[in-house]
Structure formats: structure tokens, C-alpha cells
Amino acid sequence: MKISNRLLNILGDGSDGWDIFRKAADMVRDGIDVTQLTIGEHDIRTDQRILDAMHQATLEGHTGYAAIPGIFELRQAVAERVQAQTGEKTTYANVLITPGGQSALFAAHIAACNPGDRAMYIDPYYATYPGTIRGASAVPVPVKARAEAGFQPDAADLAAQAKNATSLLINSPNNPTGVVYSRDTLEGIATLCQTHDLWLISDEVYDTQIWQGRHITPRSLEGMRERTLVVGSMSKSHAMTGSRIGWLIGPEEVVAHLMNLSTHTTYGVAGFVQQAALSALKLGIGFEQEIAQPFRRRREIAIRCIEQSNVVGMIPPQGAMYMMLDIRNTGMSGDEFANALLEKHHIAVMPGESFGDAAAGHLRVALTVDDQRLEQALKTLVRFAEENTR
């Protein structure tokens, strides 16, 4: 029997970018102590209050089929959070609850793109972006954001690829670079979308992790409300990665149609998980800041470790739980450096090449281990770079 081309083509001609992560995981299973700086996973467990709410919800009977677009109370709570944080009017009818941000990302491209449509995205990118676009039967079109420009997308570069495109996917605060898009950048993107009649898909799962500047949702910009789909998630803001609960914010008509997609794919999210998410949101913005605080602190530790090096460069992260390091001065590719660092020092970082051509010669470091271990690992990384510069 023949497997569908859609499935076979999800990865295109390459890897999914997670080779180093899997290699490090294999080493851990073999009993080797590896410092994992690869994956965006909190090093704290989900708060006990949220877990208690999830357990109580199961005892109360929230274990059957739940409302497919999301229970009303949760949709309303998400809408209130979004409106409070962005200033943009949002109601429950603008909210679709999804099994995590990844599901929302896929749903957004199903909503925006017909088979064969050109779907743009910014390079460097989160590793699933091109595969998600292919999975929606669209054609992924990367547009480079240059390291020399601080990884801020350039409107002229985007315009050069916009002809006959249908959508543009952006991510701010950005994974993998830690860059927060400026108002000028976002206004340029908004003008581009209106000029070329593009859907804008805005991945904002790191919206609570802002270290410099401020988060601006493009949905709030003039003329963008009806052409913007926003991906959100409880994973990063509330340390609920394994609970798999997120949302998509969009025009009411789009959300209504996406309910049909949910009916025929995920059939919604478990009711006890939705009840836990509702309880988590009731903890308020102070709780979200508490979850973000370790990464703010570790950002400062990381900057101190790197700033004295003449070999390793960086763009200090403005948001998210990552730092992008420039190791081009070593003469090594990101892949070469990451593999050698893992083999010699048992420190796992992601090569920039995992996130696109624009990040070649870089490393992404996840700030997801305790402060002391992070500092030790980064000092070892810098020393390794200085000792192995070609």
C-alpha cells in the first residue's frame, strides 16, 4: 500500500532538526550525566494548585466529552486575559481551545491556506513550522531575518516573497532567537499584509516572557484584526507543557468554521484539563510573572558568562527562554560545534541549523536548568569555543 504524499512530505528532504536532542536523550538513558539545554521545557513541575484542580475536576465528573470549541468559561477567561494584556476587544466567540499551541498553529494554516498556496514564515524558525505548513498542504516559503539586523524581519525581504502568497507566520517573542519584534517591524509587517492581502498568523506563546521592550500583538494594529490569527498556549505561561492546552484567537467567522475542523480531528480537549486551565488563569498575571522569573534571572547569568568572550557572540535575548549564540568565529558550523560539545563535555545545545539557514553558525541555548548548572555549562561552552577556534 502507498502512503500519502502529504504524510511523506512533512519533513521535506531534511531532518526535523532534533537530532542532537535525541542523541543527548540516548546518552542519558545509557547513564551519562548530560546538561540538557536543548528543549523549551520548564525545570519546575506544574504548580500543585493546578494539579489539584485537575484532580478535583476528574472526581467531579469532567471526564466525558467536553465542548469541542472549549468550555464557555475557559473561552471567556482566555478572552478576558487577551483583552487585558493587549487592549484589543476579545470575546469568547473569538477563541477556539486546542490541544496545545501546535494544534492551533496547524488549524490556523488550514484556515488560511488552500492546497498549494504559498505560506511564508520567518527564518530562523521554530522547528515544526515548515512541516506544519506542509501538513496543511501549503508550500512553505522561508524569509531570512539576518543576524546582522538583530534577527528583526525586513519588510523589503518579505515583500520580495509576498507575490501570490496567502499567509505569513511570525513569532514574537521569538523562538529560537529571543528577539522581540519592534513596533516598526510589526507595523511594516501589517502594511505588507494589507498590501498583499495576506493572512497573518502570529505565534505568541511566549507573550509573558518579556525582558526588554514590550509585547505588541499585531492583531491590535490598525486594519489587522480581521486578518490576524493568534496562537496562544498555557504551556510556557503556566508551566503546563504536558497538559496540551492552547488556543487560537481570530475573527468569529473563522473560529466558527474551525469548530468543524476540531470535530473531525481532535474532538476537543479533555474536560478535566480545561478545568485545570481555567483554575490556572484565575491565579492571575502575578502567577504568570512568577513562572517567568527564573528565565529573567538566568538571562542575566547567561549574558555575564558570554559578554567577556572574544570568540562567542550573542544578541542579548529580549524575551522567551532561549539565548542565541554566534560561534562563527570558531570556524565551525553549529552542527559541528554542538556535536563536539556533547561528545567532549556532555552539554547538549541546539545547532542553529536546526532552525533554518539564517541561524547557521549559531547555537540555541535553552535556559532551562538551575542557575548554577547553567552558569557552569556556559563557562565550559565558552572555554571550549576558545580552545577550538580554527
Binning pLDDT at 50, 70 and 90, where does residue 18 land? confident
State the average pLDDT over residues 174-179. Answer: 97
pLDDT in tens, 45-79: 999 999 999 999 999 999 999 999 999 999 999 99
State the average pLDDT over residues 152-163. Answer: 96
Q: Enumerate domains of the chain plus CATH numbers.
A: 5-45+286-387 (3.90.1150.10), 64-283 (3.40.640.10)
Predicted confidence at residue 6, as pLDDT, reads: 87
C-alpha span between 91 and 93 (Å, rounded): 5
Predicted confidence at residue 120, as pLDDT, reads: 98
Binning pLDDT at 50, 70 and 90, where does residue 14 land? low
Predicted confidence at residue 331, as pLDDT, reads: 96
C-alpha span between 348 and 225 (Å, rounded): 41
Assess contact for 167 and 120: CB atoms under 8 A: yes
Distance of CA 189 to the CA centre of its chain: 19
Minimum mean pLDDT range among 2-16, 107-121, 270-284? 2-16
The mean of the pLDDT values for the chain is 96
For 298-329, the DSSP string reads: HHHHHHHHHTT-SS-EE---SBSSEEEEE-GG
C-alpha span between 32 and 26 (Å, rounded): 9
Grid coordinates representing 359? 541561524
C-alpha span between 66 and 266 (Å, rounded): 11
pLDDT in tens, 351-375: 999 999 999 999 999 999 999 999 9
For 125-189, the DSSP string reads: --TTHHHHHHHTT-EEEEEE--GGGTTPPPHHHHHHH-TTEEEEEEESS-TTT-----HHHHHHH
Assess contact for 346 and 339: CB atoms under 8 A: no
State the average pLDDT over residues 199-203. Answer: 98
Residue 141 scores a pLDDT above 80? yes
Residue 16 scores a pLDDT above 90? no
Grid coordinates representing 133? 505548513
Assess contact for 367 and 31: CB atoms under 8 A: no
pLDDT in tens, 232-246: 999 999 999 999 999
